[in-house]
Amino acid sequence: MNKLGPKQSSYDKILLMYSGGLDTSCMLKWLQETYNAQIYTFTADLGQEFADPSRFREIEEKAYNLGAVKHYTVDLKEIFVKEYIFPTIKANGLYQGIYPLSTAVGRPLIGIEAVKIAKKEGIEVVAHGCTGKGNDQIRLNTTIKAYAPEIEVLQPMIEWNMGRDEEIKYAQQRNIPIANQNKKYSTDENLFGRSAECDILEHPEIEPPEDSKEWSTRPEDAPDKPEYITINFEKGNPVGLNGENMDGVSLIRQVHKIGCKHGIGRIEHMEDRAIGLKSRETYEVPAALIIIKAHKDLEKYVCTKHENSFKSIVDQRWTELAYDGMWVDPLRDALEAFINEINKKVTGSVKVKLFKGNAQVVARESSYGIYDLNLATYETKSSFDQRLSYGFIPLFGLQSRMGFITKKKLEENEKE
Ligand code: ARG
């Protein structure tokens, strides 16, 4: 019979995906003690430290202090933006119409990079800090096992069965530094957003307290004057802000900053996890929300009604696949072939008004817009021949009228 969980009781080398937080710091020690292994550590830079770039040096130092034999910090910002965030924008990726996948699309990239490091160092076991209850474990494990079936993935959070209180005791006994601000929330950050869960946030009947937010201004404290920004798109990718061309990382950072100031993108969500649990999640995703909103508007402007209707079905399917951690599934390539075809004409600009927590598209321009002022105008000069309505409506409404008459007949018969 196949045993679930670790295959061996000791290992030579383990690569640990290390964030520097309490869980993975305890893990660094625990893996050495439990499996008698040499621990390599890896921290992915997905732009999570908006405020403090020196944080990565601290994480590295901490890893070595806790006994890591070699630490990797890998800057993945550019590839994250180009190959993960831009496709999310082109798919208008809002899970259940609300959550812009900020954590979800980062995980496969981290998994792929972990495989690269493991192969380079001849490591066959990878460990990460996910619990057995969330989505991130699915995203990491599925990607890693697809790229390297020979690699074993360990989840110490499942194995050690320590509660938060026991973890803190474990950390104190082994001189593992515990952050001075007693972190109540489990958070995840990258360029595209910040998520926070746990503690009081687990009570969906209570509004998320202000201390669960770190990035953005409360809408009620945001400036009393609206601010307008214009985002330029080329083939569905955001390429410029207020007329200035910009690389993706800088553009997202700029929009993030302006969005935070106006209290945009503070989301609370009763979410359906892939694993089947319903959970209360909260996010700060200013840049993601503003850019996706703008993209969706421009796309709608240049596409036909039929394209728009089908695109929303494809978008939803793509979004669920990404959320569920099936990044490697070939269905994604097929859906993206369609998404990219549609996005060939999503070139132009969108003006967004930001005001007290609200981002509203107020204008758009594109040379591919399927809008003709001559046809649409209510002025007398319009070239639209209104008399065509006399022929069009009887045909367009034919089946619905017939259906209505049949329904009435049925109701009469039921009365008798
Ligand atoms: N519910 C979100 C998702 O599945 C956020 C997960 C956040 N992860 C975390 N470790 N706090 O994408």
Supply φ then ψ for residue 269, to 5 degrees: -145, 130
The CATH number given to 13-186 is: 3.40.50.620
Kindly list the distances between the CA atom of residue 112 and the CA atoms of 76, 108, 109, 329, in Å, as whole numbers in the listed order: 11, 6, 5, 14
pLDDT along the chain (416 residues), means of 10: 84 97 95 98 90 85 97 97 98 98 98 98 98 96 98 96 88 86 82 94 96 96 98 98 97 98 98 97 98 98 98 98 98 98 98 98 98 92 93 98 98 93
What does the block give as tokens for 200? Answer: 């009081």
Query: Atom 4, ligand 1: which residue's CA is nearest?
Result: 135
**Residue recorded with tokens 């892939």:** 274
193-365: CATH superfamily: Argininosuccinate synthetase, chain A, domain 2 (3.90.1260.10)
Per domain, the residue ranges of the chain are 13-186, 193-365, 379-410
Mutate to test the pocket of ligand 1, among 188, 194, 199, 285 (most ligand atoms within 8 A of CB): 188
Is the CB of 186 within 6 Å of ligand 1? yes
Residue with the smallest CA separation from ligand 1 atom 1 is 281
E strand map for 144-258: 152-154, 186-190, 193-197, 227-234, 237-241, 244-245
Model pLDDT, residue 321: 98
Check if the beta carbon of residue 14 is closer than 8 Å to that of residue 38: yes
Domains 13-186 and 193-365 share a fold: no
Active site residues: 23, 107, 136, 186
Return the ligand 1 atom nearest residue 102 CA. 12
Q: How far, in Å, CA of 58 to CA of 19, rounded?
A: 11
The pTM for the full model equals 0.96
The distance in angstroms from the start CA to the end CA of the chain is 66
pLDDT at 50: 67
Element (H, E) at 136: helix 136-147
113 Cβ closer than 6 Å to some ligand 1 atom: no
Residue nearest to atom 10 of ligand 1 (CA): 188
